[in-house]
Amino acid sequence: MKFRHKILTPLLIVLTLFVTLVIPAYAWFDNTFGMSYDLLGKTRASYTSYFAKGTGTELDPYVIAEAEHLYNLSYLQNLGKFQTQTTQQYFKVADLNGNTIDIDFTDYHALPPIGNHDYPFTGIFNGNNSNLINITIDGVFNQDIGLFGFMKGFDSDNDGDYDLHAKVENLFMENPMIISNPDLDHVDYSTVGFHPHNDGTLNHATGYIVGHLGSFAILENVFVEAATIDSFSNAASNRSEYGLIGYNQTDSGYIAGGPRSPYTFSFNMANTYTALSYALSTYGTYYVVGETPAKTLSQVLITATGSVEVYGKAFNRTGATFNYSISTLRIYDPNETIDEAFNLYDRLRELGYSFATSQSAEYSKENMDLVGSDIFYSTGSLQMKSFVESLVTPLVGSTFNPHAYPAKFLLYAKVPTDPLAALGWITSVYGGSGDLAYYTGFDDITGDYEPGVAPTANSFASSGVRTEMEEALALAAIQKSENGEMIVVDPNNPLTPPDFYVFLVGVFYDGTPKNMQITSIQFEYQPQALEISSSLSAMQNVDFIHDVDTVRSNLATYSFSYLNFGYSLTPVQRLSVSVVRTTVNLTDPPGSQTFTIYIDYEIDDLSEFYFDIINLNNYTIVLNIRYGNTGNYIQRYSGTHDVILTEISASTIVVDPYNTT
C-alpha cells in the first residue's frame, strides 16, 4: 500500500491562512495555482482560460493538462456554470499535443466531487488513458461523494428527457483517497438539493469513481489502483453499493439478487416504539401532509402510557379521514410551506433510529408497510386488534392502494427468477389472544384470482415458525410500472406476468374480538439469480487494477474482474477501506490473482454494520480487519467464494462466505 505525506512550507501555511480567512469561499483551492479565481463575476460563455486550451466542443474539448485545470472543472461545475450551456461539454486529460499524461496531486489540497444534485455532471470526460496520481476527494457538504459526485445524461432539446449520455472514459486513478465525511450539521434534508437513494432511503452515496451514477450516465474503461475510502469523520448515514460506484440509479441502488437486496427485513416493535417516541418529541407540532384542516403529527401518532398509536379511520377512530402508515407519513414545519415536507420514516432512519432488529435486515418501504388503525407500539411488542371488516380484493387494472387495508401488515414478495422457487418466508413472534392470518384473494381450489370480493382468512403458522409464502395465499398480484405505480394484474394471464405478489397479514377474525401482542415479524424473499450479465452490469467497464502501466498497454485484451463490495454506515459507525490487487500476469486465471482488502473501523455504540464482497469470477480474496487506525491487521478471511458476508460490531466480527451456484 502507498501512503502520502503532505508538507506545507511556512510561506504556504501563511498564504493558506490568508485564503481561508479572507476568501473562505475559495478555501479548497491550493494557492500554488497562482491564478485569480473570480468566477462569480464572469459572464463569458467560454471558460477556455481555466484550462490548457479548448472551447468545450467535441472537436475542441477543454484540455486538462495540469492539476489546477481539474480544480477549475470542479469549481465551475459545482457553481452551475456548465448548466447554462446549450450544448454538451467535452473535456480531455492530455498535454498540449493531445498525448496521454500523468498528473500528480501530492502537493494539492483535496478536490470537491465534480458535480452535485443541483448541478450534475452531464458532459463527456475523456481521460485519454491518463493517470491521476495521489488525488484526494473531500466529501464535506456533499451527498454524493467520489471523483465525480453526481452524473446524469444531457437534455439537448430541453424537453425534460435525457437524449445524450454523460460519460467518463479511459481514465486511471492511482492511490486515490476518497474522504467520505458527510456532516449532518451542514446538510438540510428539507431543501431541494437533497435527494433519496435506495428506494427512498435517506443516505449519502460514496464510490471511488462516482457517488451517484444517474440515468443516461456511463463509465467506460475507468480503473483505480490502491484506492482508499476514508469515512472516519462520518456523521451521517453513508452507503456504497459497489465500492467503485456509490449509487447506481438504474438498479435503484440494489444489486439484483445481491446479499443486501431490499427484500429481507425485520420489524422490531421495541425499536419502532423508540423511533416513534423520538418523532413525537421532536416533530410533534409539525403538520401532516394530506389533512384538511391541518393536523399535527401528535394527532396522528397518539401516545398513551408506554405506547404510540398509528391513527386510522377504521374501527373506533371515526374522526380520522385517512389510514396512515409508517412509510407514507410526510410532515412539514408549521413555519415553512408544504413544499418543504419530508418523509418521517426517512428522517428517522437518517438520524440513526432503526425499526429493525439489526441494520442488515432493516424495514424497507419497497416491500413492506404497516397501515394504521388501533395499532399500538408498546415497549417490546405491537398490539393489534381484530374487528368486523369490509375488506375487498382489488380490481384487475387498478392501482393497488395499501391504505384500503387498515390494521394490517402488507408484504410485497418479488417473483423470483426460478418459477419453481418459493416467493419467500415469514417468521413472526407473537402472543395474546388470536392468531395471525393471510387474507387471500385466490380461490383455494382453482387458484384463480377473485377480484372485488372479500378475501379469505387463512390461519398463519404458530409463533416463531418459519412459513413459506405461496402464491395461493397472496391477496393479489401486481406489476410495477415505469413510474413506480403498483398495478393489479391477473397472474394467470400470460400477457400480464406479475412482478410482485402482495400478502396481507392481520389478526384472524372469527366473530370474536382478539387482541394480539406481536414482538417481531421477519420476511425473507427468494432472491433472483446473482449473475454478471444482469446483476453487475454497472461493473462491466470499471475495475480495481494492480499496475497502471501494465493495464494501460493491454487494454485491448483486458478482462474485467466484476469484483465489488458494499457497505452501509449510520452516523455512529466509521470505516476506512483500501483495496490492493496483485497479479503476475493479466492472463493469469482468477484463482491465481489476489485482491487484499484492508478495513479499519470504529463504532460508538452496540450496533453493527455490514461489509459484503461479491466475487463471481472466484478471485482469491484476503480480508484484513482491525479496530481503529492502530495495531496490526488480523486476517479474517482468505478464499475464492462468490459472496463474502461480513457483519462488524465493536466487539465481534462474523464472516459468512458462500457460493451462489
DSSP letters for 46-89: --GGGSSS--SSSSSPEEE-SHHHHHHHHHHHHTTSGGG-SS--
> Has residue 100 got a pLDDT over 60?
yes
Torsion of CA 536, 642, 196, 230, to 10 degrees: -110
Q: Which amino acid is at 128?
A: N
Task: Return d(Cα 633, Cα 82) in angstroms, integer.
Answer: 45
What is the CB-side half-sphere exposure of residue 170 using CA atoms within 13 A? 18
More confident position, 220 or 497:
220
The answer to whether 451 and 395 are in contact (CB under 8 A) is: yes
Confidence band, pLDDT 50/70/90 cuts, at residue 389:
low
| Confidence at residue 40, expressed as pLDDT on a 0 to 100 scale | 35
Confidence band, pLDDT 50/70/90 cuts, at residue 617:
very high
More confident position, 527 or 86:
86
Q: What is the pLDDT of residues 175-191, one digit of tens each?
A: 999 999 765 444 444 44
Q: Which amino acid is at 590?
A: P
The region, left, alpha or beta by phi > 0 then psi within -120 to 50, assigned to residue 2 is beta
Report which secondary-structure segment, H or E, holds 90.
strand 90-93
Percent of the chain with pLDDT over 90: 41
Average pLDDT over residues 211-217: 93
Q: Nearest 5°: phi and psi at 281? A: -70, -25
Average pLDDT over residues 230-238: 86
Lowest-confidence pick of 85-94, 582-591, 629-638: 582-591
More confident position, 642 or 1:
642
Task: Return d(Cα 613, Cα 597) in angstroms, integer.
Answer: 10
Strand 238-240 and strand 204-206: the pairing is parallel
| Confidence at residue 6, expressed as pLDDT on a 0 to 100 scale | 35
Query: DSSP labels for 463-514?
Result: TT--EEE-GGG-SEEEEE-TTS-EEEE-TTSTTS--SEEEEEEEE--SSS--
The answer to whether 608 and 587 are in contact (CB under 8 A) is: no
Task: Return d(Cα 498, Cα 300) in angstroms, integer.
Answer: 34
The answer to whether 173 and 227 are in contact (CB under 8 A) is: yes
Average pLDDT over residues 271-287: 88
Average pLDDT over residues 401-414: 79
| Confidence at residue 207, expressed as pLDDT on a 0 to 100 scale | 97
The region, left, alpha or beta by phi > 0 then psi within -120 to 50, assigned to residue 18 is alpha
> Has residue 557 got a pLDDT over 50?
yes
Confidence band, pLDDT 50/70/90 cuts, at residue 615:
very high
> Has residue 1 got a pLDDT over 50?
no
| Confidence at residue 528, expressed as pLDDT on a 0 to 100 scale | 63
**Strand residues in 515-572 grouped as ranges (E):** 515-525, 542-545, 564-569
| Confidence at residue 249, expressed as pLDDT on a 0 to 100 scale | 87
Report which secondary-structure segment, H or E, holds 19.
helix 10-22
Lowest-confidence pick of 197-206, 290-299, 649-658: 197-206
Confidence band, pLDDT 50/70/90 cuts, at residue 360:
very low
User: What percentage of the chain's residues is helix, strand, coil (to nearest 5)?
Assistant: 15, 35, 50
More confident position, 7 or 363:
363
Confidence band, pLDDT 50/70/90 cuts, at residue 13:
very low
User: Which segment, 236-240, 505-509, 513-517, 528-532, is predicted with the most confidence on average?
Assistant: 236-240
| Confidence at residue 636, expressed as pLDDT on a 0 to 100 scale | 97
Q: In what order do the strands lie in the sheet with 342-343?
A: 287-288, 330-332, 342-343
**Which of 549-578 are b and which e, b meaning 16 or more Cβ less than 10 Å from the residue's Cβ?**
eebbeeeeeeebbbbbbbbbbbbbbbbbbb
Q: Nearest 5°: phi and psi at 184? A: -60, -30
Q: Whole-number mean pLDDT of the chain?
A: 81
> Has residue 38 got a pLDDT over 50?
no
SS3 at position 218: strand
| Confidence at residue 563, expressed as pLDDT on a 0 to 100 scale | 96
More confident position, 152 or 325:
152
Task: Return d(Cα 520, Cα 285) in angstroms, integer.
Answer: 30
Confidence band, pLDDT 50/70/90 cuts, at residue 375:
low
Beta bridge partners of 296: 287
Q: What is the pLDDT of residues 287-330, one digit of tens each?
A: 988 777 788 888 877 776 677 776 655 444 555 566 666 767 78
Confidence band, pLDDT 50/70/90 cuts, at residue 240:
very high
**Which of 219-237 are b and which e, b meaning 16 or more Cβ less than 10 Å from the residue's Cβ?**
bebbbbbbbbbbbeebbbb
Beta bridge partners of 350: none
The answer to whether 207 and 180 are in contact (CB under 8 A) is: no
Beta bridge partners of 427: 522
Its pTM stands at 0.67
| Confidence at residue 37, expressed as pLDDT on a 0 to 100 scale | 40
Lowest-confidence pick of 131-140, 263-272, 297-306, 649-658: 263-272
> Does a cis peptide bond (omega within 30 degrees of 0) precede residue 112?
no
Cell digits of residue 579: 483495496
Closest CA to 88 of 118, 116, 126, 51: 126
Task: Return d(Cα 85, Cα 78) in angstroms, integer.
Answer: 14
Confidence band, pLDDT 50/70/90 cuts, at residue 16:
very low
Percent of the chain with pLDDT over 70: 79
User: Which segment, 9-23, 355-369, 454-468, is predicted with the most confidence on average?
Assistant: 454-468
| Confidence at residue 527, expressed as pLDDT on a 0 to 100 scale | 60
Average pLDDT over residues 452-468: 87
Cell digits of residue 157: 432539446
Lowest-confidence pick of 49-53, 283-287, 367-371, 592-596: 367-371
> Has residue 564 got a pLDDT over 60?
yes
